[in-house]
A and B are shown apart, each in its own frame.
Chain A
Amino acid sequence: MAKGPFQNKIFLWLISAAGIMFFFSFLLVPLYNVFCEVTGLNGKIYGPSDFLKKETEVKEREVNIKFLSIVSGSAPVVFYPSTQNLTVITDNPKGTTYIAENKSNKRITVRIVPSVSPGLAADSVKKIQCFCLDGDIVLEPYEKQEWQLRFFIDSDLRKNVNDVYLSYTLFEKDREEIMVMKHEH
């Protein structure tokens, strides 16, 4: 007898398999984030660290830190580190700043996404205070802000790593049109 496809077991199996794989592709998103967080891969920073001097026999050593800044897309913001290089001693906190200046007459909301290179050093970069952990930051028209960064490099940093790059990318989230008269000229 002729049966419709929906009475066919294999057909139903295959249709559901396709459906399951579609949802699986969305499941990959949280799986990926959990995987990165658990393994500490991918150069991601997941939150502020407390500064606690550990009693360890590890020798302190010098590490070169290089600061990078990137403005994503066409945000009308100038964004740069106040120092480009810093030599730090492991386990000793250091501070520096980044400067951001809104070049437009609009109120701009930005968000900063950090990245550490090499990725395997990300675990050893401990941020005590970082503008990248503050979420959204609002820049008023033509406003210039100085943002604080305090961190230390844990002495468990891999032996073969002597240079660590801290990169910050500025993303524009929102641009608000507000009327501002500029009288300087």
Chain B
Amino acid sequence: MSAVVENHDHHDHHGPQKGIWRWFTTTNHKDIGTLYLWFSFLAFLVGGAFAMGIRAELFEPGLQLMDPIRYNQLVTMHGLIMIFGGVMPAFVGLANWLIPMQIGAPDMALPRMNNLSFWLLPTAFAILMSTAFMEGGMPGFGWTFYAPLSTNYPNVAFFVFAVHIMGISSIMGSINVIVTIMNMRAPGMNLMKMPLFVWSWLITAYLLIAVMPVLAGAVTMLLMDAYFGTSFFDAAGGGDPVLFQHIFWFFGHPEVYIMILPAFGITSHIISTFSRKPLFGHSSMVYAMVSIAVLSFVVWAHHMFTVGMPLAAELFFMWATMLIAIPTGVKVFNWCATIFKGSITYETPMLFAIAFVVLFTIGGFSGLMLAITPADFQYHDTYFVVAHFHYVLVPGSVFSIMAAVYYWLPKWTGNMYDEKLGKLHFWLSFIGVNVTFFPQHFVGLAGMPRRYADYSLQFAEWNAVSSVGAFLFGLSQLLFLYIVLRTIFVGKKATSQVWEGADGLEWTVDSPAPYHSFETPPKING
């Protein structure tokens, strides 16, 4: 299976193709990983610009900058771009770069499919963004696209096809990850010896294959309701709008874990490296991730406590949701135990990883509060929910991605980033995130509802604070861009080990990692 690149070249170590065409035709996992990462960074900036539009409107009560329809479009596109264009492709990019190097494989198992699954993504987003130039505009029904609101929306077909294409891209990416991990591990690397990032992606890929088709089914039904006269979700024809929510969240909740499991893997590597200790409880980490993944299929209705479910169902979904705190608690415990009595240094990746553990746990706790059914009737659709999921997604998933970039950037580029600037970026982001989202807990508990362009006067102060934080966080990401570019072009040379405490196959190859690594599989001893 390693023979895929041999057909047109007779040199043993040929480099990349010259010119721009390289990026369209490449089947190299490192090139495709790079494409994914840059794409997700672009999406992160665009989605971030939309978020700043939202926060600018919410800086003070009243309608200042846009009408409510435009506001809803910004909210919707912010969610869609950040989830499907930012976080998910970033993790796929990291998977492409790291999984082959961490398991000692020369490339991904299905390199051409890998190329296709990347290039479908810009296609999907081009379709989605094209609605901005149409009459009726971008979708404005929220990223959850609840029917029948979405079925009556203009341009919904573009949204549906974009989601279909993104879904195909994700499914192909996941199949590639699983086939690679199952078939191409270096001799001697059994499943339990696999690095945790690889494990986290193996589980994530199975989740994606299970639920992305359900999302595709949901948008297909939506399309049929909107254009082909069916009534899946239209009560007039005998359908049921609540059914839409069940199907959507059956996809939606595993999706949430798809966006956090790879972060668990990344954090485990970084904390172990900078504590200079092997990770505490490697196999319990694996079992915890597997249990989180299994449980994610039986908790979906906690997003729907207020739709009028019977008591028995509310209790079941409440307890099932709370059960997830146990494997998650195991993971947080293991990270703390790894840090405990370690020889810790605080380089930028470690700062992001520690911030991840602390702030993700805060997001987890507010999640537990939301899981309490009677309390959820107060919190439902308030800014408390917004604060909760941004705490697990921004200082959760996004911080872990930034940590991963700082941690592996020397391996990718061969150069060290500037530690001072990295730390500055960390502190600006850390302060920005907390100033943005912590006050949203307060306004949420006080009753401020989500998804409105305007709000009543008593929420004005905290919203102003939140907006200031959002601009700080958003603008400091330009510093991140500067740091990465500076590393690529003028950084100091990095060693192949890069970090004193780093452990794993990817640190045995040169920095920058050669275009083809592990053409002969390494030997795993022990």
Name A's B-contacting residues (CB within 8 A): 1-3, 5, 8, 10-11, 14-15, 17-26, 28-29, 32-33, 39, 41-43, 72-73, 111, 113, 117-120, 169, 171-173
Which listed residue, A5, A33, A41, A117, touches B309 by the CB 8 Å rule?
A41
Q: Is residue B250 within 8 Å, beta carbon to beta carbon, of the partner chain?
A: yes
Question: Cα distance A66–B248 when bound, in Å?
Answer: 33
Residues of A contacting B217 with CB < 8 Å?
21-26, 28
Choice from A3, A10, A21 contacting B182 with Cβ under 8 Å: A10
Which among B132-140, B236-244, B461-469 touches the partner chain? Answer: B236-244
**Per-residue contact bits, chain B 231-259, to A (CB 8 Å; 1 contact, 0 not):** 01011110010110011001100000000
Complex partner residue of A72 from B211, B216, B235, CB under 8 angstroms: B235
Say yes or no: B179 contacts A8, CB within 8 Å.
Answer: yes
With known contacts A25-B213, A28-B250, A120-B310, A42–B235 Cβ distance under 8 A: no
Subset of 22 A-B contacts with CB under 8 Å? A2-B3, A2-B4, A10-B182, A11-B110, A11-B175, A11-B179, A14-B179, A17-B210, A18-B213, A23-B217, A24-B217, A25-B214, A25-B217, A25-B250, A39-B310, A41-B309, A113-B235, A113-B236, A118-B308, A119-B308, A120-B311, A172-B236
- Give the complex CA separation of A65 and B4 in angstroms: 73
Q: What is the distance, in angstroms, from B174's C-beta to the closest C-beta of chain A?
A: 8
A3 to B109, CA, bound (A): 10
Contact with B246, one of A8, A32, A119 (Cβ below 8 angstroms)? A32
Looking across the interface, which residue of chain B has its beta carbon closest to that of A27?
B217
Q: Which 5 residue pairs spanning A and B have beta carbons closest together? A: A25-B217, A171-B236, A21-B213, A22-B213, A2-B3
Main secondary structure of the interface of B (DSSP, over half): helix
| B113 close to A5 (CB less than 8 A) | yes
Residues of B within 8 A of A18 (CB): 171, 175, 209, 212-213
Asked if B243 contacts A29 (CB within 8 A), the reply is yes
Q: B242 touching A42 by the CB < 8 A rule?
A: yes
| Cα-based distance from A72 to B210 in the complex (angstroms) | 36
- The minimal Cβ–Cβ distance linking B92 to chain A, given in whole angstroms, is 16
Contact B179 A28 (CB under 8 A): no
Q: Find out whether the CB atom of A22 lies under 8 angstroms from the CB atom of B214.
A: yes
A14 → chain B closest CB, angstroms? 5
Question: Chain B contacts of A113 at CB under 8 A?
Answer: 235-236
Give 5 A-B pairs besides A26-B221, A72-B236 with Cβ atoms closer than 8 angstroms: A5-B110, A11-B179, A14-B175, A118-B308, A171-B234
- A173 touches which of B4, B209, B236 (Cβ 8 Å): B236
B234, chain A: closest CB distance, angstroms: 8
Q: For the complex, what is the distance from the CA of A23 to the CA of B220, rounded to whole Å?
A: 11
Within 8 A of A (CB), among B156-191: 171, 174-175, 178-179, 182-183
How near does chain A come to B179, taking the closest CB pair, in angstroms?
5
